[in-house]
Structures are given as C-alpha cells and as structure tokens.
Amino acid sequence: MIAKHLPLIDLHRHLDGNIRAKTIWQLAQQNSIPLPVEHFSDFIKHVQITDKANDLMEFLSKLDWGVNVLKTLDDCKRVAYENVEDLTLAGIDYAELRFSPHYMAMAHNLNTADVVAAVAEGVSQGCKDFNVKANLIGILSRTFGLETCQQELDALLAHKDQLVAIDLAGDEYNFPAELFTQQFKQVEQANLQVTIHAGEAAGPMSVWNAINHLKATRIGHGVKSIEDPKLMDYLAQNNITLESCLTSNYQTGTIASIEQHPIRQFLERGVNVCLNTDDPAVEGIELKHEFNIAKDIVGLNDKQLEQLQINALNAAFISTSERQMLLAAKS
C-alpha cells in the first residue's frame, strides 16, 4: 500500500479548507457568530460534503463556514496550528499548506498581512510541538478580482521568507491565468516557486496558460490535461507536476466517478503526478484514504503507488538536503 521506506507527502492541502468542524463550532460560540443549527451533530452537513457537490463553486462554499468564524488573529493562528497537528494524526511526514490570506481575513476585516504572519506563527509552533515538517504556499484568490489579488500578493510578499511558493486558485473560467502575468512577474522576482490551479473546472488550455503565462512548475489538479496528448507529453518532458486529488475531483464534479480519474493514464504517460488531499476537513478524508482508493477503486498497483510517493518527494518545494533528511527519517 503506502511504501514505508518513503515519506508520506501532501503537496496540495488547503489550510483554510481544513478547519475542524469542532473548531468552527467552538469559535462561533466564542465569537458570538450565529450558525444555522443548534446542535453540533446537525452542523457537520453544512461544512462537509457527504457525496458530491453540483459543481466546484458549491464545493468551495462549504469552506466559507470555517473562515467566517475567524474573528481574531489568534483564531487564524489556532487553525494553522491545528492543521499541523492534523498532519501528525494523519501520519504525514511533510506537507505544503496553502492558504488565501484575503479569504481568511475578509469576514471580519482583519489585516491581510497580519493574517499571513499569524498563520506562519501557528504553523511554525505546530512544527516544533509535533515534530513534523511543513511549508506554506500563499494563494491569490482570483474569484475576488485582479485588484484584490494584487493586495493579497502584497501581503504575502511582505512575509515572503515564510513562504515557498504562490498559487492562483478560485474561479478558473472567469479569471484565466493570462490576467495575472504582472503578479507572477513579482512572484518570480521574489524567488518564490509557482503552482497554479488549472485544468479542474476549465480545459487543457487553462493548463497551457498556467505554464506559458505564469511559469508554473506544478499544476493543481490538472485533470483536463488528459484531453490533450501534446500537453501530457509536454508535462512529462518538462517535469511539470500534476497535484492530483481523487476524492476532491469526484466531489466537485470534475470527474463522474473515482474509477474514471485519469491518474493511471498520467502515470503511464510518464507525467510526474502525485496524490494529495485538497480540503480534507470538507471532504471527510485523509491522505491514506486517498492511497486506499487509488489502489482499490482506480486499480493502481503497488509500484504505481510507490511512484506517486517518489513523485511527491521530487516535486516538493524543498532543497536536496531536506529531501535526504525526509528519506533518512524513514530508513
């Protein structure tokens, strides 16, 4: 199943999509924020997908409950800290936690740059307390428009030493990659890596644009890459990673069934694809579950599952020495 001699790595994991239901409930009570039900047992359905959403935007709306209760910077720090604890509970050796500071700040008008600092502090403390390694990826939420994304980028770059990369997420259709070339020139100047959500709600051209316009070396989801053989060959030849998320892609309606996920074809084509969770609290899953369904439902063999772990290790935004340390810890 999971190769024990290799680290278990999650490269596509949204910190603000992994806020515990219990924490949302407690922060709502603490911050006098009304919720739609009186009992916690009735609340789960509001923050977690039970089968699948009608589309990506409905799926994303489930995340809103978590950020709506973040009234203070301490609240932001708490959920960041708990995200690291969740890595330990899930048996994950290394993760890259991505978050949108504007999304976390907007409900209660928090200072966006201060949210970045609070999240970084929570993750740093969590890594020390739980002896696990995690890095941060800042998200530009294109759903809120170009001007807001620039403000969000300014806040992230004010704390660029706390980040390894910048991502572009949200409404792929109405805010395509080519609108954000100026922002990602700034990202390049800041010496940060680039991973872009693409090929999830939109087609393979979205992936091409993420690569050509924004210089992405990793693609979040990239499911629709399967529709373009030339793109798959380009991904393989240029070592551009696809961050696959099986359950998420089913729950958002990106694929009709887990069995139909193209992760097997990506592997067979030589694409550097890895397996990730996306929004584990919203989906009700963890990374080991994703490996189980990759084996039991998609039908990947042990060698292919091991390749997914190797690919994640190779694609991680860490140094060669850090990779060696992760490997050494498993020996």
Q: Which residues are identified as catalytic? A: 200
Helix ranges (DSSP H) in the chain: 21-30, 44-47, 56-61, 64-68, 73-89, 101-105, 112-130, 146-157, 181-189, 204-214, 229-237, 246-251, 263-268, 280-283, 287-296, 302-315, 320-330
Q: Contact 286/280 with Cβ under 8 angstroms?
A: yes
Interhelix angle 146-157/112-130, nearest 10 degrees: 50
Residue 179 contacts residue 200 (beta carbons within 8 Å): no
Closest CA to 250 of 210, 284, 204, 216: 284
Beta bridge partners of 29: none
Whole-angstrom distance, CA of residue 185 vs CA of residue 305: 36
208 φ, ψ to 5°?
-55, -45
In SS3 terms, 50-68 reads as CCCCCCHHHHHHCCHHHHH
